[in-house]
Structure 1
């Protein structure tokens, strides 16, 4: 009997040790800017659709949108704009094609991406609707400094500073917050803060319900590992390593305090953020809420799969509710 107990104890210690190692490894991969394993292996595991490009109709559409966005990004009415906060220098592209317009949008990019890559084309579409645009690079992304990835939770406070930058340019600005992927969760997490009346509405494309839930999905789908006990340990370690826990970084908790109108968008082919999270997020908010589901669209690709339907829905929602 005593041998059985000893074997169970040794087995438990082994499982705990392996879980601590796995949790620490996962946090280093997921939450720090510079990680060679993510660059070489992890990115493809976590979001395989980014690596399955070919010459399909959708790939050609994506390339055309990228070209249009890059041209728009370099127009004479666009310039670099920086702020300093918490010892970091944060970058944005300030685009003012319509100086007399009071309509503004802040477009927020996704995980390990940057503003021009994800949002240049989106910015061009908003310009067609007489919007001025600010596109930030979140901290630890793009041209912004920093090493810790905020997953929207730290970024919500930076987004509030970008809102104030817009208001400094135009005190009567009517601002829409638009985000994709981690940018969508940044917007949702910001929605629970005390916002100026200039913010009129939110558009969020394929955002996760919480960092804890998103990492659990990634452990299961990409790493083929159980969320428990790895994620439980990671949640505790994260507070010390990056200054926030995975559970507190919650779109759902922040949306519960939101009263602004929100359009939720997701593609059913998303392998990075499960599209079912849209329903969790929608249920949490008490403001006006609408949804747009694009069948078979991969992560942050809904405006590539159905561009006309996508932007028609976005601007109809904004014109009606914002």
Structure 2
């Protein structure tokens, strides 16, 4: 019996050691800007659809959308706009094609992306509806400084500052918050804060229910590892390493305090954020809510798969409730 006890003790020690290593490795990969392993290997593991580009009809649609967005980004009515928060210098593109309009949208990009990449084409569609827009690069992304990735939780506080920037330009602005992926989580997380009455509604595309749940999904799908005990350890360490725990960074908890109209969008082919999280988020919110499900669309690709249906739904929702 003694040898059996010894073996069990050794196995437990090995399990703990491996879990501690895995938790630390995963936090460094997921939550810090400069990580060579993520750039070389991790990105492809976590979101393989980004690396399966070819010449399908959807790839051609995406190429055309990107061209339109790039041209719009450089229009004469667009300019760089900077904001200093603490020790960081945060970038945004301020685009005012309709100076007399009171309609504004703040478009928030996804994980390890930047504003122009994710939101330039979206901005063209809002401009067609007479919107002006502000499109930030979240801290530790794009042209903004910083090394810690906020996963929407730290970014929600920055978004409050960006809302104030819009109101400084147009005090009577009627603002819609639009986010994709981590940007959607940022919008959902800010919804639980005290927002100005100028904010009229939220559009959230493929946002996760919490950082803890999203990282659990990634461990299982990309790394083939169980969430426990790795996430339990990572959750404890995250507070010290990045200033927030994985569990407190919760869209669901923040949406429970939200009363703004919210449109939830997700593609069923999403391998990065499970589309079932849409239902958790919808159930949590107290505001008017509707959903748009795009069959087979990968992560943040619903407006590539069904652009006409997508934007008709978005602007019909805004017209009804915002």
Question: What's the TM-score, normalizing by structure 1?
Answer: 1.00
SS in 2 for 1:214: helix
Matches within 5 A, 1:93-242: 93-242=93-242
Matches within 5 A, 1:283-322: 283-322=283-322
Distance in 2 (alpha carbons) for counterparts of 1:312 and 1:227: 39
Q: CA deviation at 1:105?
A: 0.1
RMSD: 0.4
Q: CA deviation at 1:2?
A: 2.1
SS in 1 for 2:82: strand
Instruction: Give the corresponding residue for 1:247.
Output: 247
Distance in 2 (alpha carbons) for counterparts of 1:172 and 1:178: 19
Distance in 2 (alpha carbons) for counterparts of 1:39 and 1:266: 26
Following TM superposition, the consecutive aligned residue runs of length 4 or more in structure 1 with deviations greater than 2 angstroms are none
Instruction: Give the corresponding residue for 1:262.
Output: 262
**Are 2:12 and 1:12 aligned?**
yes
Return 5+ residue gaps in structure 2 as ranges: none
Q: CA deviation at 1:201?
A: 0.1
SS in 2 for 1:201: strand
Deviation digits for residues 259-278 of structure 1 (CA, Å, limit 9, x no counterpart): 00000000000000000000
Deviation digits for residues 36-68 of structure 1 (CA, Å, limit 9, x no counterpart): 000000000000000000000000000000000
SS in 2 for 1:22: helix
Distance in 1 (alpha carbons) for counterparts of 2:15 and 2:291: 42
Distance in 2 (alpha carbons) for counterparts of 1:46 and 1:55: 22
The 10-residue stretch of structure 1 (16-25 or 5-14) with the greater mean CA deviation from structure 2 = 5-14
The 10-residue stretch of structure 1 (6-15 or 298-307) with the greater mean CA deviation from structure 2 = 6-15
Distance in 1 (alpha carbons) for counterparts of 2:153 and 2:268: 25
Distance in 2 (alpha carbons) for counterparts of 1:276 and 1:220: 15
Distance in 1 (alpha carbons) for counterparts of 2:198 and 2:288: 17
Instruction: Give the corresponding residue for 1:66.
Output: 66
**Aligned residue pairs: how many?**
322
Q: CA deviation at 1:69?
A: 0.2
Distance in 1 (alpha carbons) for counterparts of 2:267 and 2:196: 31
Q: CA deviation at 1:7?
A: 1.4
Deviation digits for residues 74-93 of structure 1 (CA, Å, limit 9, x no counterpart): 00000000000020000000
Q: CA deviation at 1:10?
A: 1.2
Distance in 1 (alpha carbons) for counterparts of 2:42 and 2:317: 37
